[in-house]
């Protein structure tokens, strides 16, 4: 099998061919220009000489003498030698020669057409005469009264023009050869530079590397976003497009048009590398890492890696809940043992009715029941969420009150579940053991209203504008796994639905969140 040329040899040969073709083309053009320049120079010289002969008083006066050739021939030879032309010929109106380089031809008629100068016009062109093909100029000779009495013809042989052009060729060829040599050396340097920049890889190897890189970047389960030093996106893999809800490849666009302010955009424009920072992309919780990309020690951009941690956030939130339940159970273990002692004592005293009443009072009194929810909730998912949150609140020692004014006549939708779940979780955490949470949910054809109140410490008025910012939390430091996300998600949902959320102080003394979600056209609220 014949081995193909390497990239270096191919590039060098291609560039040398281009240099040679360009040089030869330029040489031919320069040769033509030089030839035209020589002809133009001789044209000017011949025309000037012919006009000088035609205007010499001695030549004009000689036409009236018995033998004009005796006067005109010596003058013509002097002018011919002085101007460097091949011949100077003078004739009368009938074409009889009075001057010619070959004296034997004096008195003979000219062999070319004299009609143009005899008509009073100047002729400049190429004709073939007795001496050969020549470039010539013919000028009419006029008497004192303006009458045309003869012709002055000055010419140079084409062979002489070719000889003059040949004399200039060596210098022209030398310059062209030098240009070709310099161009070839430059091509070799360019080839060497390109090979060094491509790490001496062949095109097939480069293509294979690019295909492998694209396959790996677009096949990994983490999102990858690369931003260059001019703040433009240079890479967004498939997973990143999914996480950022992008439908078209944004490569080449400014980062500000694609990445969200306050989240990934601020992270990309930051000055330091960051590991495992929670950010929101739309309504999706992501774990982002930022790393500065460098080439030869110089920063060339930023690489962001993204992981979907919406489920992890939910798991961490549930873990916090379980930790709280464990703490509550530990602190209430002694109280439960006292309840058991009371029940046991009542049974020993043969007072079972009192024991039952005591169990009802300390056990399920005041808890939310499925019957209560079913009567008000037409959405099973919403009813299940409320029952689950009521159970969680009870495990935390929080009294969960469901407003009797609540009424949901159709499916509430995922947005309602997201907002309600996060607000209840925050309210239960804020109320704490022994606290109270009040919930109202109402929906109609216009939208859904959600009101969640607690009797916790409340939210300072100065803090109400920033609690919806990602990462901002008022919870205790020991319980901040994934904190600062719930209210940010609520804000994103409300903003997308063009709704509203009012934060204030509740009638219970704590915080109050009043949310309005307008109904979606053609979709259940």
pLDDT(11) > 70: yes
Q: How far is CA 414 from the centre of its chain?
A: 37
3-state SS of 495-506?
HHCCCEEEEEEC
**Mean per-residue pLDDT, 259-285:** 81
Which residues lie below 8 Å from residue 139, measured CB to CB, with a gap of 6+?
Answer: 47, 50, 51, 53, 54, 117, 122, 151, 152, 153
How far is it, in rounded angstroms, from Cα 272 to Cα 71? 103
What would the pLDDT profile of 459-505 be if each residue is shown by its tens digit?
888 787 778 776 566 555 444 444 567 788 888 888 888 889 999 89
What would the pLDDT profile of 159-184 be if each residue is shown by its tens digit?
888 888 888 888 888 888 888 888 88
pLDDT band at 278 (very low <50, low <70, confident <90, very high): confident
Please report how many Cα atoms fall inside a 13 Å half-sphere around the Cα of residue 176, on the Cβ side: 18
Which residues lie below 8 Å from residue 243, measured CB to CB, with a gap of 6+?
Answer: 223, 281, 284, 286, 306, 308
**Mean per-residue pLDDT, 442-459:** 88
Query: 5-19, 76-90, 125-139 — which is least confidently predicted?
Result: 5-19
How far is it, in rounded angstroms, from Cα 51 to Cα 79? 11
**Residue of 486, 484, 480, 469 lying closest to 418 (CA atoms):** 486
Enclosing H/E stretch for 386? helix 380-395
pLDDT(43) > 60: yes
| Tokens 């992981």 -> residue | 307
Q: What is the pLDDT of residue 154?
A: 92
Q: How far is CA 143 from the centre of its chain?
A: 81
pLDDT band at 405 (very low <50, low <70, confident <90, very high): confident
Q: Compare 320 and 506 and report the one with higher pLDDT.
A: 506
Q: How far is CA 254 from CA 64, 250, 260, in A?
A: 93, 9, 12
- Mean of per-residue pLDDT scores for the chain: 81
User: CB of 132 within 8 A of CB of 157?
Assistant: yes
Q: What is the pLDDT of residue 9?
A: 81
How far is it, in rounded angstroms, from Cα 498 to Cα 496? 5
User: CB of 421 within 8 A of CB of 386?
Assistant: no
Q: What is the pLDDT of residue 524?
A: 43
How far is it, in rounded angstroms, from Cα 443 to Cα 458? 26
**Mean per-residue pLDDT, 306-327:** 60
Within a 10 A sphere around the Cβ of 87, how many other Cβ atoms? 21
How far is it, in rounded angstroms, from Cα 435 to Cα 429? 9
Q: What is the pLDDT of residue 480?
A: 40
pLDDT(509) > 90: no
**Mean per-residue pLDDT, 373-388:** 74
Question: What is the chain's percent helix, strand, coil content, to nearest 5?
Answer: 50, 25, 30
Q: What is the pLDDT of residue 360?
A: 61
pLDDT(212) > 60: yes
Q: What is the pLDDT of residue 152?
A: 92
Within a 10 A sphere around the Cβ of 327, how many other Cβ atoms? 12
Q: What is the pLDDT of residue 324?
A: 47
What would the pLDDT profile of 332-344 be if each residue is shown by its tens digit?
555 566 667 777 7
How far is it, in rounded angstroms, from Cα 492 to Cα 282? 7
Which residues lie below 8 Å from residue 376, measured CB to CB, with a gap of 6+?
Answer: 402, 404, 406, 407, 408, 441
Q: What is the pLDDT of residue 319?
A: 58
């Amino acid at each position: 099998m014949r081995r193909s040329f390497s990239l270096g040899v191919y590039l060098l040969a291609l560039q040398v061919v281009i240099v040679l073709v360009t040089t030869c083309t330029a040489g031919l053009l320069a040769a033509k220009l030089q030839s035209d320049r020589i002809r133009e120079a001789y044209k000017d010289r011949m025309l000037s000489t012919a006009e000088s002969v035609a205007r010499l008083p001695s030549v004009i006066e000689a036409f009236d003498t018995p033998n004009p050739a005796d006067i005109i021939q010596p003058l013509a030879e002097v002018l011919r030698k002085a101007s460097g032309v091949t011949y100077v010929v003078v004739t009368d109106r009938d074409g009889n020669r009075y001057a010619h380089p070959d004296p034997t031809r004096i008195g003979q008629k000219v062999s070319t057409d004299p009609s143009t100068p005899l008509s009073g016009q100047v002729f400049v062109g190429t004709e073939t005469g007795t001496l050969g093909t020549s470039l010539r100029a013919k000028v009419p000779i006029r008497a004192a009264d303006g009458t045309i009495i003869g012709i002055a013809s000055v010419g140079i042989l084409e062979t002489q023009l070719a000889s003059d052009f040949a004399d200039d060729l060596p210098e022209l060829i030398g310059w062209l050869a030098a240009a070709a040599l310099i161009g070839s050396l430059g091509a070799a340097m360019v080839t060497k530079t390109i090979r060094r920049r491509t790490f001496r890889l062949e095109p097939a190897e480069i293509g294979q590397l690019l295909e492998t890189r694209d396959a790996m970047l677009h096949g990994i389960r983490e999102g990858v976003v690369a931003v260059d030093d001019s703040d433009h996106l240079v890479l967004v893999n498939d997973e990143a497009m999914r996480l950022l809800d992008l439908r078209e490849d944004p490569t080449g666009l400014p980062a500000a048009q694609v990445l969200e302010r306050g989240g990934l955009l601020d992270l990309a424009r930051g000055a330091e590398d960051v590991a495992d920072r929670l950010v929101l992309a739309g309504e999706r919780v992501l774990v982002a890492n930022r790393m500065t990309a460098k080439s030869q020690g110089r920063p060339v951009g930023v690489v962001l890696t993204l992981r979907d941690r919406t489920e992890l956030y939910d798991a961490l939130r549930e873990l916090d809940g379980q930790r709280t339940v464990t703490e509550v159970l530990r602190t209430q273990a002694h109280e439960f043992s006292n309840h058991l002692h009371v029940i046991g004592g009542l049974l020993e005293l043969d007072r079972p009715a009192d024991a039952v009443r005591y169990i009802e009072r300390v056990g399920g009194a005041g808890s939310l029941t499925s019957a209560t929810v079913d009567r008000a909730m037409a959405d099973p998912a919403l009813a299940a969420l409320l029952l689950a949150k009521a159970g969680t609140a009870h495990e935390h020692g929080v009294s969960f009150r469901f407003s009797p004014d609540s009424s949901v006549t159709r499916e509430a939708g995922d947005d309602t579940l997201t907002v309600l779940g996060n607000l209840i979780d925050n309210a239960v955490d804020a109320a704490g053991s022994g606290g109270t949470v009040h919930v109202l949910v109402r929906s109609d054809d216009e939208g859904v209203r959600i009101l969640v109140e607690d009797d916790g410490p409340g939210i300072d008025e100065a803090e109400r504008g920033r609690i919806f910012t990602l990462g901002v939390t008022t919870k205790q430091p020991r319980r901040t796994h994934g904190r600062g996300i719930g209210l940010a998600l609520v804000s994103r949902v409300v903003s997308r639905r063009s709704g509203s959320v009012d934060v204030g102080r509740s009638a219970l003394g704590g915080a109050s969140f009043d949310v309005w979600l307008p109904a979606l056209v053609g979709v259940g609220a």
